[in-house]
Amino acid sequence: MERSTQATGTTPDIDDRRDGLVEAAEDGVLEPLADFPRINLRAGVEPWDKRRAAGKSLRMEIPHAAHAILATGSDRPDPVSLIEAAHEGRQAHLLPLRVARMASSPFAFLRGAAQVMAWDLAQGPRTAINVVMNGDAHISNFGLFGSPQGDVVLDLNDFDEVTVGPWEWDLKRLCASIEVAGRDADLPVAERREAVVSAVSGYQFTMDDLAPCGSLDVWRRASRADDLTFAGVEIDARSQAVVAKAVEKARRKNNKSLLDRVGERRTDGGWRFREEPPILVRVDEATREAITTGLERYAETLPRERRFMLSRYQVVDVAHRVVGVGSVGTRAYVALLFGNSDQDALFLQVKEAVRPAHAPYLRGMPEPYASHEGERVIYGQRLLQAVGDPLLGWTSIEGRPFYVRQMKNMKGEIPIARMTGQSLLYFSHAYGALLAKAHARTGDAAAIAGYCGHTGRIDLREAIADWASLYGDRNAKDYQTFLDAIAAGRLAAAADPVL
Protein backbone atom coordinates (compact mmCIF):
# COMPACT_ATOMS: atom_id res chain seq x y z
CA MET A 1 0.00 0.00 0.00
CA GLU A 2 1.59 3.25 -1.11
CA ARG A 3 1.47 6.33 1.06
CA SER A 4 2.58 9.79 0.13
CA THR A 5 4.69 11.74 2.60
CA GLN A 6 4.72 14.91 0.57
CA ALA A 7 1.96 17.53 0.39
CA THR A 8 -0.49 15.62 2.57
CA GLY A 9 1.95 15.36 5.47
CA THR A 10 1.38 11.64 5.96
CA THR A 11 3.45 10.13 8.74
CA PRO A 12 4.71 6.62 7.98
CA ASP A 13 5.09 5.88 11.70
CA ILE A 14 1.40 6.26 12.41
CA ASP A 15 0.09 4.69 9.21
CA ASP A 16 2.48 1.73 9.13
CA ARG A 17 1.82 0.78 12.74
CA ARG A 18 -1.89 0.66 12.07
CA ASP A 19 -1.52 -1.96 9.37
CA GLY A 20 -1.40 -4.61 12.09
CA LEU A 21 -4.88 -3.82 13.37
CA VAL A 22 -6.68 -5.50 10.48
CA GLU A 23 -5.25 -6.87 7.29
CA ALA A 24 -6.39 -4.01 5.07
CA ALA A 25 -6.50 -1.03 7.42
CA GLU A 26 -6.04 2.13 5.42
CA ASP A 27 -5.37 5.78 6.25
CA GLY A 28 -5.73 5.19 9.96
CA VAL A 29 -9.43 4.27 9.67
CA LEU A 30 -10.24 0.64 10.28
CA GLU A 31 -12.23 -0.75 7.39
CA PRO A 32 -15.43 -2.63 8.24
CA LEU A 33 -14.81 -6.11 9.53
CA ALA A 34 -17.69 -7.43 7.43
CA ASP A 35 -15.56 -6.85 4.35
CA PHE A 36 -13.08 -9.54 5.38
CA PRO A 37 -13.49 -13.32 5.60
CA ARG A 38 -11.71 -13.29 8.95
CA ILE A 39 -10.06 -10.92 11.36
CA ASN A 40 -6.71 -11.24 13.04
CA LEU A 41 -7.15 -11.45 16.81
CA ARG A 42 -3.56 -12.61 17.35
CA ALA A 43 -1.75 -9.38 16.58
CA GLY A 44 -2.02 -6.75 19.28
CA VAL A 45 -2.43 -3.01 18.91
CA GLU A 46 0.62 -0.88 19.58
CA PRO A 47 0.43 0.79 23.03
CA TRP A 48 -1.42 4.07 23.03
CA ASP A 49 1.50 6.04 24.45
CA LYS A 50 3.66 5.10 21.45
CA ARG A 51 0.91 6.10 19.05
CA ARG A 52 0.55 9.34 20.95
CA ALA A 53 4.27 9.98 20.57
CA ALA A 54 3.95 9.40 16.83
CA GLY A 55 1.16 11.96 16.70
CA LYS A 56 3.28 14.43 18.66
CA SER A 57 6.16 14.01 16.22
CA LEU A 58 3.84 15.02 13.39
CA ARG A 59 3.95 18.58 14.77
CA MET A 60 7.46 18.81 13.36
CA GLU A 61 6.08 18.42 9.82
CA ILE A 62 2.84 20.36 10.29
CA PRO A 63 3.18 22.79 13.19
CA HIS A 64 0.02 24.02 14.85
CA ALA A 65 0.65 27.49 13.43
CA ALA A 66 0.09 26.10 9.91
CA HIS A 67 -3.61 25.78 10.69
CA ALA A 68 -3.92 29.54 11.08
CA ILE A 69 -3.33 30.07 7.36
CA LEU A 70 -6.24 30.29 4.94
CA ALA A 71 -4.91 29.46 1.49
CA THR A 72 -5.41 32.13 -1.15
CA GLY A 73 -4.74 32.10 -4.85
CA SER A 74 -6.00 33.19 -8.23
CA ASP A 75 -7.00 29.61 -9.03
CA ARG A 76 -9.81 29.61 -6.45
CA PRO A 77 -13.05 28.80 -8.26
CA ASP A 78 -15.91 31.24 -8.35
CA PRO A 79 -18.02 30.20 -5.32
CA VAL A 80 -21.24 30.57 -7.31
CA SER A 81 -19.90 28.10 -9.89
CA LEU A 82 -19.26 25.54 -7.13
CA ILE A 83 -22.81 26.01 -5.86
CA GLU A 84 -24.22 25.69 -9.37
CA ALA A 85 -22.30 22.46 -9.83
CA ALA A 86 -23.87 21.14 -6.61
CA HIS A 87 -27.30 21.86 -8.14
CA GLU A 88 -26.78 19.35 -10.93
CA GLY A 89 -29.23 16.47 -10.69
CA ARG A 90 -31.50 18.22 -8.19
CA GLN A 91 -35.16 19.06 -8.79
CA ALA A 92 -35.04 22.26 -10.80
CA HIS A 93 -38.34 23.67 -9.50
CA LEU A 94 -36.97 23.68 -5.93
CA LEU A 95 -33.63 25.35 -6.68
CA PRO A 96 -35.04 28.89 -6.25
CA LEU A 97 -36.14 27.89 -2.75
CA ARG A 98 -32.66 26.56 -1.97
CA VAL A 99 -31.09 29.79 -3.25
CA ALA A 100 -33.52 31.87 -1.19
CA ARG A 101 -32.78 29.92 1.98
CA MET A 102 -29.03 30.30 1.45
CA ALA A 103 -29.51 34.02 0.80
CA SER A 104 -31.32 34.58 4.11
CA SER A 105 -28.08 35.13 6.07
CA PRO A 106 -24.30 34.54 5.90
CA PHE A 107 -24.73 31.56 8.24
CA ALA A 108 -27.44 30.03 6.03
CA PHE A 109 -25.09 30.55 3.08
CA LEU A 110 -22.31 28.72 4.95
CA ARG A 111 -24.69 25.83 5.61
CA GLY A 112 -25.57 25.48 1.94
CA ALA A 113 -22.06 26.09 0.61
CA ALA A 114 -20.35 22.91 1.84
CA GLN A 115 -18.75 22.47 -1.59
CA VAL A 116 -17.11 25.89 -1.30
CA MET A 117 -15.53 25.18 2.06
CA ALA A 118 -14.49 21.71 0.90
CA TRP A 119 -12.39 23.31 -1.85
CA ASP A 120 -10.85 25.74 0.64
CA LEU A 121 -10.02 23.03 3.17
CA ALA A 122 -8.41 20.91 0.48
CA GLN A 123 -5.86 23.67 -0.16
CA GLY A 124 -4.66 23.73 3.45
CA PRO A 125 -2.49 21.43 5.56
CA ARG A 126 -3.52 17.84 6.25
CA THR A 127 -2.32 15.89 9.24
CA ALA A 128 -3.19 12.63 7.43
CA ILE A 129 -4.54 11.15 10.65
CA ASN A 130 -7.82 10.23 9.05
CA VAL A 131 -11.18 9.46 10.60
CA VAL A 132 -14.67 8.80 9.37
CA MET A 133 -15.51 12.50 9.21
CA ASN A 134 -18.96 14.01 9.30
CA GLY A 135 -18.09 16.37 6.45
CA ASP A 136 -20.62 19.02 7.50
CA ALA A 137 -20.12 19.48 11.24
CA HIS A 138 -21.56 22.98 11.59
CA ILE A 139 -23.45 23.91 14.75
CA SER A 140 -26.90 23.24 13.31
CA ASN A 141 -25.95 19.62 12.62
CA PHE A 142 -25.75 18.84 16.33
CA GLY A 143 -28.92 18.25 18.29
CA LEU A 144 -31.11 16.07 20.46
CA PHE A 145 -32.71 12.78 19.49
CA GLY A 146 -34.08 9.69 21.17
CA SER A 147 -32.16 6.49 21.79
CA PRO A 148 -33.77 3.07 21.27
CA GLN A 149 -34.14 2.93 25.06
CA GLY A 150 -36.08 6.22 25.17
CA ASP A 151 -33.27 8.41 26.51
CA VAL A 152 -32.64 11.80 24.92
CA VAL A 153 -29.04 12.23 23.78
CA LEU A 154 -27.04 15.12 22.31
CA ASP A 155 -24.88 14.29 19.30
CA LEU A 156 -24.22 14.84 15.62
CA ASN A 157 -27.44 14.31 13.70
CA ASP A 158 -26.80 14.88 9.98
CA PHE A 159 -24.51 12.69 7.88
CA ASP A 160 -25.18 13.50 4.22
CA GLU A 161 -21.54 14.52 3.64
CA VAL A 162 -19.89 11.71 5.62
CA THR A 163 -16.63 10.32 4.21
CA VAL A 164 -13.08 9.42 5.25
CA GLY A 165 -10.77 12.38 5.70
CA PRO A 166 -8.65 14.51 8.06
CA TRP A 167 -10.13 15.08 11.50
CA GLU A 168 -9.21 18.77 11.43
CA TRP A 169 -11.51 19.50 8.47
CA ASP A 170 -14.55 18.72 10.62
CA LEU A 171 -13.17 20.79 13.49
CA LYS A 172 -12.52 23.76 11.22
CA ARG A 173 -16.04 23.66 9.79
CA LEU A 174 -17.45 23.60 13.31
CA CYS A 175 -15.31 26.58 14.31
CA ALA A 176 -16.12 28.53 11.15
CA SER A 177 -19.83 28.02 11.82
CA ILE A 178 -19.44 29.41 15.35
CA GLU A 179 -17.61 32.45 13.98
CA VAL A 180 -20.17 33.11 11.23
CA ALA A 181 -23.19 32.55 13.49
CA GLY A 182 -21.60 34.93 16.00
CA ARG A 183 -21.28 37.57 13.31
CA ASP A 184 -24.92 37.10 12.36
CA ALA A 185 -25.81 37.69 16.01
CA ASP A 186 -23.61 40.83 16.14
CA LEU A 187 -21.36 39.36 18.84
CA PRO A 188 -18.12 41.22 19.53
CA VAL A 189 -14.92 39.90 17.97
CA ALA A 190 -13.51 38.84 21.35
CA GLU A 191 -16.64 36.87 22.27
CA ARG A 192 -16.67 35.05 18.95
CA ARG A 193 -13.02 34.15 19.30
CA GLU A 194 -13.51 32.90 22.84
CA ALA A 195 -16.31 30.61 21.64
CA VAL A 196 -14.15 29.20 18.84
CA VAL A 197 -11.28 28.60 21.26
CA SER A 198 -13.77 26.85 23.56
CA ALA A 199 -14.77 24.46 20.75
CA VAL A 200 -11.15 23.53 20.01
CA SER A 201 -10.55 23.15 23.74
CA GLY A 202 -13.50 20.76 24.00
CA TYR A 203 -12.08 18.67 21.17
CA GLN A 204 -8.59 18.72 22.68
CA PHE A 205 -9.69 17.90 26.24
CA THR A 206 -11.92 15.04 25.11
CA MET A 207 -9.40 13.48 22.75
CA ASP A 208 -6.79 13.65 25.52
CA ASP A 209 -9.27 11.94 27.84
CA LEU A 210 -10.08 9.19 25.31
CA ALA A 211 -6.50 8.47 24.20
CA PRO A 212 -5.75 5.81 26.86
CA CYS A 213 -9.27 4.34 26.91
CA GLY A 214 -10.17 0.93 25.57
CA SER A 215 -12.01 0.80 22.27
CA LEU A 216 -15.15 -0.68 23.86
CA ASP A 217 -15.25 2.20 26.35
CA VAL A 218 -14.88 4.74 23.55
CA TRP A 219 -17.62 3.16 21.45
CA ARG A 220 -20.24 3.10 24.17
CA ARG A 221 -19.80 6.65 25.41
CA ALA A 222 -23.03 8.55 24.78
CA SER A 223 -23.91 12.04 25.96
CA ARG A 224 -27.32 11.78 27.57
CA ALA A 225 -29.12 15.08 27.89
CA ASP A 226 -29.61 14.55 31.63
CA ASP A 227 -25.85 14.11 32.15
CA LEU A 228 -23.91 16.40 29.82
CA THR A 229 -20.52 16.05 31.46
CA PHE A 230 -17.52 16.97 29.34
CA ALA A 231 -13.83 17.11 30.25
CA GLY A 232 -12.60 20.64 30.86
CA VAL A 233 -15.94 22.41 31.41
CA GLU A 234 -18.84 22.53 33.84
CA ILE A 235 -22.38 23.24 32.76
CA ASP A 236 -23.79 26.52 34.05
CA ALA A 237 -27.33 27.06 35.33
CA ARG A 238 -28.49 28.88 32.21
CA SER A 239 -27.22 26.12 29.93
CA GLN A 240 -28.92 23.52 32.11
CA ALA A 241 -32.18 25.42 31.69
CA VAL A 242 -31.69 25.53 27.91
CA VAL A 243 -31.13 21.77 27.81
CA ALA A 244 -34.13 21.05 30.05
CA LYS A 245 -36.42 23.16 27.85
CA ALA A 246 -35.08 21.58 24.66
CA VAL A 247 -35.50 18.06 26.07
CA GLU A 248 -39.06 18.76 27.15
CA LYS A 249 -39.86 19.99 23.66
CA ALA A 250 -38.05 17.04 22.03
CA ARG A 251 -40.04 14.50 24.06
CA ARG A 252 -43.21 15.96 22.59
CA LYS A 253 -41.90 15.37 19.06
CA ASN A 254 -42.99 11.89 18.16
CA ASN A 255 -45.04 10.08 15.56
CA LYS A 256 -48.36 11.00 17.17
CA SER A 257 -47.59 14.72 17.42
CA LEU A 258 -46.36 14.74 13.82
CA LEU A 259 -49.55 13.01 12.70
CA ASP A 260 -51.61 15.70 14.40
CA ARG A 261 -49.59 18.40 12.65
CA VAL A 262 -49.23 17.09 9.08
CA GLY A 263 -52.02 14.52 8.76
CA GLU A 264 -55.74 14.75 8.07
CA ARG A 265 -58.55 12.22 7.96
CA ARG A 266 -60.16 11.33 4.65
CA THR A 267 -63.91 11.01 4.34
CA ASP A 268 -63.57 7.23 4.64
CA GLY A 269 -61.86 7.61 8.02
CA GLY A 270 -58.33 6.89 6.81
CA TRP A 271 -55.35 9.20 7.07
CA ARG A 272 -53.37 11.16 4.52
CA PHE A 273 -50.91 14.06 4.47
CA ARG A 274 -52.21 17.61 4.63
CA GLU A 275 -50.49 19.46 1.80
CA GLU A 276 -48.50 22.65 2.46
CA PRO A 277 -46.97 23.52 -0.95
CA PRO A 278 -44.12 23.74 -1.71
CA ILE A 279 -42.88 22.28 1.60
CA LEU A 280 -45.16 19.23 1.84
CA VAL A 281 -46.83 17.86 -1.30
CA ARG A 282 -48.41 14.44 -1.73
CA VAL A 283 -46.99 12.43 -4.62
CA ASP A 284 -48.80 10.77 -7.51
CA GLU A 285 -49.71 7.10 -7.47
CA ALA A 286 -46.73 6.00 -9.57
CA THR A 287 -44.27 7.74 -7.25
CA ARG A 288 -46.03 6.36 -4.20
CA GLU A 289 -45.73 2.86 -5.62
CA ALA A 290 -42.02 3.39 -6.34
CA ILE A 291 -41.39 4.66 -2.79
CA THR A 292 -43.28 1.74 -1.27
CA THR A 293 -41.26 -0.72 -3.35
CA GLY A 294 -38.10 1.10 -2.27
CA LEU A 295 -39.11 0.73 1.38
CA GLU A 296 -39.65 -3.00 0.91
CA ARG A 297 -36.10 -3.21 -0.44
CA TYR A 298 -34.85 -0.98 2.38
CA ALA A 299 -36.22 -3.48 4.88
CA GLU A 300 -33.65 -5.97 3.64
CA THR A 301 -30.87 -3.71 4.98
CA LEU A 302 -32.27 -3.87 8.53
CA PRO A 303 -31.32 -6.53 11.09
CA ARG A 304 -33.79 -9.40 10.89
CA GLU A 305 -35.55 -8.62 14.16
CA ARG A 306 -36.22 -5.03 13.07
CA ARG A 307 -37.35 -6.20 9.66
CA PHE A 308 -39.89 -8.39 11.43
CA MET A 309 -41.12 -5.39 13.41
CA LEU A 310 -41.40 -3.23 10.28
CA SER A 311 -43.44 -5.94 8.53
CA ARG A 312 -46.33 -5.16 10.87
CA TYR A 313 -46.77 -1.71 9.29
CA GLN A 314 -48.50 -0.64 6.09
CA VAL A 315 -47.73 2.41 3.93
CA VAL A 316 -50.88 4.55 3.67
CA ASP A 317 -49.52 7.78 2.13
CA VAL A 318 -46.33 9.33 0.75
CA ALA A 319 -45.41 13.01 0.32
CA HIS A 320 -42.43 15.02 -0.84
CA ARG A 321 -41.13 17.17 2.04
CA VAL A 322 -38.54 19.93 1.68
CA VAL A 323 -36.03 19.96 4.53
CA GLY A 324 -33.00 21.99 5.58
CA VAL A 325 -30.92 24.37 3.51
CA GLY A 326 -28.21 22.41 1.73
CA SER A 327 -30.57 19.48 1.07
CA VAL A 328 -33.21 21.50 -0.77
CA GLY A 329 -33.65 20.20 -4.29
CA THR A 330 -32.75 16.62 -3.47
CA ARG A 331 -35.60 14.14 -3.49
CA ALA A 332 -36.84 13.81 0.08
CA TYR A 333 -40.00 11.90 0.84
CA VAL A 334 -41.87 11.08 4.00
CA ALA A 335 -43.95 7.93 4.25
CA LEU A 336 -46.85 7.51 6.68
CA LEU A 337 -47.29 3.97 7.95
CA PHE A 338 -49.76 2.47 10.39
CA GLY A 339 -49.54 -0.72 12.44
CA ASN A 340 -51.97 -1.90 15.10
CA SER A 341 -54.32 1.10 14.82
CA ASP A 342 -54.35 4.78 13.95
CA GLN A 343 -52.65 5.28 17.31
CA ASP A 344 -49.68 3.33 15.95
CA ALA A 345 -48.31 5.73 13.34
CA LEU A 346 -44.76 5.60 11.99
CA PHE A 347 -43.13 8.24 9.80
CA LEU A 348 -40.11 7.29 7.72
CA GLN A 349 -37.99 9.82 5.86
CA VAL A 350 -36.73 8.56 2.50
CA LYS A 351 -34.00 10.96 1.43
CA GLU A 352 -31.87 11.00 -1.68
CA ALA A 353 -28.15 10.63 -1.02
CA VAL A 354 -25.86 12.56 -3.35
CA ARG A 355 -22.11 12.70 -3.80
CA PRO A 356 -20.46 14.24 -0.71
CA ALA A 357 -18.93 17.71 -0.93
CA HIS A 358 -15.40 16.47 -0.14
CA ALA A 359 -15.44 13.65 -2.71
CA PRO A 360 -13.25 15.46 -5.28
CA TYR A 361 -10.43 15.86 -2.76
CA LEU A 362 -10.41 12.61 -0.75
CA ARG A 363 -10.18 8.89 -1.38
CA GLY A 364 -13.55 8.44 0.29
CA MET A 365 -15.26 5.52 1.97
CA PRO A 366 -14.09 1.96 1.35
CA GLU A 367 -16.08 -0.44 -0.80
CA PRO A 368 -18.85 -1.48 -0.79
CA TYR A 369 -19.99 1.73 0.91
CA ALA A 370 -18.55 3.98 -1.78
CA SER A 371 -20.69 2.45 -4.53
CA HIS A 372 -24.06 3.35 -2.98
CA GLU A 373 -24.40 6.85 -1.55
CA GLY A 374 -27.26 5.86 0.74
CA GLU A 375 -25.25 3.03 2.24
CA ARG A 376 -22.33 5.44 2.68
CA VAL A 377 -24.51 7.81 4.72
CA ILE A 378 -25.97 5.08 6.94
CA TYR A 379 -22.65 3.33 7.50
CA GLY A 380 -21.06 6.65 8.45
CA GLN A 381 -23.88 7.50 10.82
CA ARG A 382 -23.67 4.14 12.55
CA LEU A 383 -19.94 4.65 13.03
CA LEU A 384 -20.10 8.22 14.29
CA GLN A 385 -23.10 8.10 16.63
CA ALA A 386 -22.79 6.46 20.03
CA VAL A 387 -26.48 5.51 19.87
CA GLY A 388 -28.63 5.69 16.80
CA ASP A 389 -31.94 5.18 15.11
CA PRO A 390 -32.78 1.45 15.02
CA LEU A 391 -34.52 1.92 11.66
CA LEU A 392 -31.55 3.27 9.69
CA GLY A 393 -31.19 1.69 6.27
CA TRP A 394 -30.82 2.39 2.56
CA THR A 395 -32.43 1.60 -0.75
CA SER A 396 -32.58 2.55 -4.43
CA ILE A 397 -35.61 4.09 -6.11
CA GLU A 398 -35.77 4.47 -9.89
CA GLY A 399 -31.99 4.16 -10.08
CA ARG A 400 -31.24 6.78 -7.43
CA PRO A 401 -29.66 6.03 -4.02
CA PHE A 402 -31.65 6.87 -0.87
CA TYR A 403 -31.31 6.38 2.84
CA VAL A 404 -34.14 5.86 5.32
CA ARG A 405 -34.57 6.92 8.93
CA GLN A 406 -37.35 7.81 11.35
CA MET A 407 -38.80 11.22 10.64
CA LYS A 408 -39.46 12.09 14.27
CA ASN A 409 -37.48 10.48 17.03
CA MET A 410 -37.61 12.98 19.92
CA LYS A 411 -35.50 15.33 17.82
CA GLY A 412 -34.68 18.72 19.26
CA GLU A 413 -32.48 21.73 18.69
CA ILE A 414 -30.10 23.60 20.97
CA PRO A 415 -30.30 27.26 19.81
CA ILE A 416 -26.56 27.88 19.98
CA ALA A 417 -26.67 30.31 17.01
CA ARG A 418 -28.60 32.75 19.23
CA MET A 419 -26.54 32.30 22.38
CA THR A 420 -24.13 34.62 24.15
CA GLY A 421 -21.93 34.55 27.24
CA GLN A 422 -21.29 31.42 29.26
CA SER A 423 -23.91 29.33 27.47
CA LEU A 424 -22.23 29.96 24.12
CA LEU A 425 -18.89 28.95 25.59
CA TYR A 426 -20.35 25.82 27.19
CA PHE A 427 -22.12 24.53 24.07
CA SER A 428 -19.16 25.39 21.84
CA HIS A 429 -16.98 23.30 24.15
CA ALA A 430 -19.63 20.55 24.20
CA TYR A 431 -19.84 20.36 20.41
CA GLY A 432 -16.07 20.17 20.14
CA ALA A 433 -16.17 17.34 22.68
CA LEU A 434 -18.94 15.50 20.81
CA LEU A 435 -16.96 15.77 17.59
CA ALA A 436 -13.91 14.29 19.33
CA LYS A 437 -16.00 11.39 20.63
CA ALA A 438 -17.28 10.70 17.12
CA HIS A 439 -13.80 10.82 15.61
CA ALA A 440 -12.31 8.60 18.32
CA ARG A 441 -14.67 5.78 17.32
CA THR A 442 -12.91 5.24 13.98
CA GLY A 443 -9.69 7.25 14.17
CA ASP A 444 -6.58 6.94 16.32
CA ALA A 445 -7.47 8.96 19.42
CA ALA A 446 -3.96 8.60 20.82
CA ALA A 447 -2.30 9.91 17.66
CA ILE A 448 -4.77 12.82 17.38
CA ALA A 449 -4.29 13.65 21.06
CA GLY A 450 -0.54 13.55 20.57
CA TYR A 451 -0.79 16.00 17.70
CA CYS A 452 -3.19 18.32 19.52
CA GLY A 453 -1.04 18.31 22.65
CA HIS A 454 -1.95 18.21 26.31
CA THR A 455 -4.85 20.34 27.45
CA GLY A 456 -2.55 23.09 28.68
CA ARG A 457 -1.35 23.88 25.15
CA ILE A 458 -3.13 26.79 23.51
CA ASP A 459 -1.30 27.16 20.19
CA LEU A 460 -3.67 24.91 18.21
CA ARG A 461 -6.68 26.69 19.70
CA GLU A 462 -5.31 30.09 18.76
CA ALA A 463 -4.32 28.94 15.27
CA ILE A 464 -7.77 27.58 14.44
CA ALA A 465 -9.37 30.69 15.94
CA ASP A 466 -7.25 32.77 13.55
CA TRP A 467 -8.34 30.56 10.65
CA ALA A 468 -12.03 30.78 11.64
CA SER A 469 -11.83 34.57 11.71
CA LEU A 470 -10.27 34.63 8.26
CA TYR A 471 -12.90 32.23 7.01
CA GLY A 472 -15.62 34.45 8.42
CA ASP A 473 -14.24 37.24 6.21
CA ARG A 474 -14.13 34.94 3.20
CA ASN A 475 -17.64 33.66 3.80
CA ALA A 476 -18.90 37.25 3.98
CA LYS A 477 -17.33 38.01 0.59
CA ASP A 478 -18.67 34.80 -0.94
CA TYR A 479 -22.12 35.60 0.46
CA GLN A 480 -22.05 39.02 -1.19
CA THR A 481 -20.96 37.40 -4.47
CA PHE A 482 -23.91 35.04 -4.10
CA LEU A 483 -26.32 37.95 -3.54
CA ASP A 484 -24.86 39.75 -6.55
CA ALA A 485 -25.49 36.65 -8.68
CA ILE A 486 -29.14 36.71 -7.59
CA ALA A 487 -29.45 40.43 -8.34
CA ALA A 488 -27.91 39.91 -11.78
CA GLY A 489 -30.34 37.13 -12.63
CA ARG A 490 -27.70 34.40 -12.71
CA LEU A 491 -29.47 32.61 -9.85
CA ALA A 492 -33.22 32.61 -9.28
CA ALA A 493 -34.51 32.99 -5.73
CA ALA A 494 -37.99 32.21 -4.45
CA ALA A 495 -39.93 35.25 -3.27
CA ASP A 496 -40.87 33.93 0.15
CA PRO A 497 -38.66 31.15 1.57
CA VAL A 498 -40.23 29.13 4.36
CA LEU A 499 -37.52 28.25 6.90
User: What pLDDT is recorded for position 144?
Assistant: 94
**φ and ψ at 489, to 5 degrees?**
85, 0
Which tens digits make up the pLDDT trace of 348-406? 999 999 999 999 999 988 887 888 999 999 999 999 998 889 999 999 999 999 999 99
Q: What is the pLDDT of residue 104?
A: 96
The pLDDT score that the predictor gives to residue 497 is 58
Number of neighbours of residue 430 by Cβ within 10 angstroms:
26
Q: How many CB atoms lie within 10 A of CB 73?
A: 6
15, 128 Cβ separation under 8 angstroms: yes
Query: What pLDDT was estimated at residue 38?
Result: 67
pTM: 0.91
Q: Which of 398, 378, 366, 400 is nearest to 303 (CA)?
A: 378
- Divide the 499 residues of the chain into consecutive groups of 10 and give the mean pLDDT of each group: 36 36 39 53 88 95 96 92 97 96 97 98 94 97 90 94 97 98 97 98 96 92 87 91 93 90 89 94 97 98 94 97 94 96 94 97 86 95 92 96 91 90 96 97 96 88 98 98 98 77
CB-side neighbour CA atoms (13 Å) of 162 = 32
Terminal Cα-to-Cα distance of the chain (whole angstroms): 47
Nearest CA-CA partner of 27 in 160, 127, 111, 144: 127
- The pLDDT score that the predictor gives to residue 495 is 79
Helix (H, G, I), strand (E, B) or coil at 401: strand
Q: Is 42 exposed, middle or buried (0-12, 13-18, 19+ CB in 10 A)?
A: exposed
Q: What long-range pairs does 226-231 form, CB within 8 A, spacing at least 24?
A: 226/151, 226/152, 228/154, 228/430, 230/202, 230/205, 230/206, 230/429, 230/430, 230/433, 231/205, 231/206, 231/433, 231/455
Position 205: which residue type? F
Q: What's the one-letter identity of residue 16?
A: D
Name the strand (E) or helix (H) holding 347. strand 345-352
pLDDT of residue 496: 61
| pLDDT recorded at residue 498 | 59
CA nearest 144: which of 250, 238, 255? 250
The pLDDT score that the predictor gives to residue 31 is 45
Calpha distance 386→52 (Å, rounded): 24
Torsion of CA 243, 248, 250, 252, to 10 degrees: 180
Say what the pLDDT of residue 351 is: 98
Residue 331 contacts by C-beta under 8 Å, 6 or more apart in sequence?
Answer: 91, 320, 351, 352, 400, 402
pLDDT of residue 295: 98
